[in-house]
A and B are shown apart, each in its own frame.
Chain A
Amino acid sequence: MAEQTEYSKKKECEVKALPMEEKKRLVREGKAHWFFPGHIIEQVVLCGFVVLILITLSTVLPAHLGDKADPFDTPAHIKPEWYFLAAYYSLRLAEYTDFLGAWAPKIMGIVAQQIAVTILILVPFIDQNVNERRPGKRPVAMVLGFLAALTMVIFTILGHLI
């Protein structure tokens, strides 16, 4: 049984059921690592790094607290946080659809966002190339993914600039 499917293709429950000797062999051959203690130590060290980064950022660039909200004073430039800038810019971009009618600009932006999120959710079902995982052998997925990411980056930058 153990030899029939390669370790990397096994399900977790199959790996768990492997005899101890087989697990030792996989570790010896460099295909696997013990979860304890090596992997756990790695995780703890990583978490420690994250804590250090948080402390450093909080010290060097303290969290900003702006002026108290005033409903009667509209600021000149209202801009969302960086992770909403792409969505924000797509709403601005949708204003160019006003040739379709007065209704279009606002709705087109939201609809476009909904479609983008739906596509993102459905990625595994859209990609019918189910067996190939190597990026070099999946040119279509790589190009489309790159274009999508590039669009997000450009929209974010443009959203920041307007």
Chain B
Amino acid sequence: MDIETLHLGPFKIKNKIAIRLFSALDDRLGVKEIVDDEVFEKIVPAHLGFWSCFGGISFFLFISQALTGMLLMVYYQPTIEEAHATVAMIMNEVPFGWLVRGSHSWGSNLMLVTIMIHMVKIYVSGIYKPPRELNWVVGVTLLLLTMGLSFTGYLLPWTQLAYWATVVGTETPAALPYVGEYIRYAMRGGEEIGQVTLTRFFAIHVMLLPVITASVIGLHLVQIRRQGIAGPM
């Protein structure tokens, strides 16, 4: 690209260094094509209204949860002696700790609300119909993953409510024939809920489920990009 002016959508770039830099990237990675296709020359359906934005908001909340979660991990200690005390410290002593934990806690509730609104919208508008059947399946998986994240995250402050809700929650599958006892044992990491359970829930909450959820969100978005946003009915 040996040019005087670089045209990027509405922008006209005349700065020589910027043009050389962009040209270098374009020669190696074909950046111009991507930027034009995905940003400047892209059109979206005009009718997108208020109810169409809840999928995107759920996605934003997932990112917000990841960020606030990382900040919480700076002070939180996943041991039955220290968990409650470190969360109390985050609330009372750490600068803006109350805001980070508040956003994480409210974010999880809000995320489930926005996912549910998103699902109702998709259902009522019949967007799950061909060619988008598979993306409905992926979407329901994301709802289940989010519930899994909520369930495992709930135990981490090691409060009375969290502890006993987990007692009940892990007791439920134990009723299943043959596999029930094993599921309970696997969830608790033993017969009782204790340090192993907390370690396990912590690992699942901050590593396993976020990585899986992020990947499945990727699958959700790739399908949307291939199929496009659903047009009017």
Q: Give me the interface of A with B, judged by CB distance under 8 Å.
A: 6-13, 15-16, 20, 23, 26-27, 30-37, 39, 42-43, 46-47, 50-51, 53-55, 57-59, 61-63, 65-71, 73-75, 78-84, 88, 91, 106-107, 109-110, 117, 120-121, 123-125, 127, 130-135, 138, 141-142, 145, 149
Contacts and interface: CB of A to CB of B under 8 A. Distances in A.
Contact of A32 (B45, B103, B128, B194): B45
Interface string B157-181: 1111111110111001101110000
Interface of B: 9-10, 37, 39-46, 48, 53, 56-57, 60-61, 64, 80, 84, 87-88, 91, 98-99, 101-107, 109-110, 112, 120, 123-133, 136-137, 140-141, 144, 147, 150-151, 154, 157-165, 167-169, 172-173, 175-177, 192-194, 225-228, 231-233
Contacts of A59: 99, 102
Main secondary structure of the interface of B (DSSP, over half): helix
A12 B228 CA distance: 4
Specify which of A20, A30, A84 lies most central, judged by the most chain B CB atoms within 10 Å of its CB: A84
Contact of B165 (A8, A23, A81): A81
A57 B102 contact: yes
B154 A81 contact: yes
B47 to A, nearest CB: 8
24 contacts: A8-B231, A10-B231, A11-B228, A16-B37, A23-B43, A31-B46, A34-B44, A35-B44, A54-B106, A55-B99, A57-B106, A62-B91, A63-B98, A63-B104, A68-B84, A69-B80, A70-B163, A71-B194, A75-B160, A83-B109, A84-B151, A124-B129, A124-B132, A138-B126
A49 to B, nearest CB: 9
B175 A110 contact: yes
Contacts of A16: 37, 42
A107 B84 CA distance: 34
A36 B10 CA distance: 9
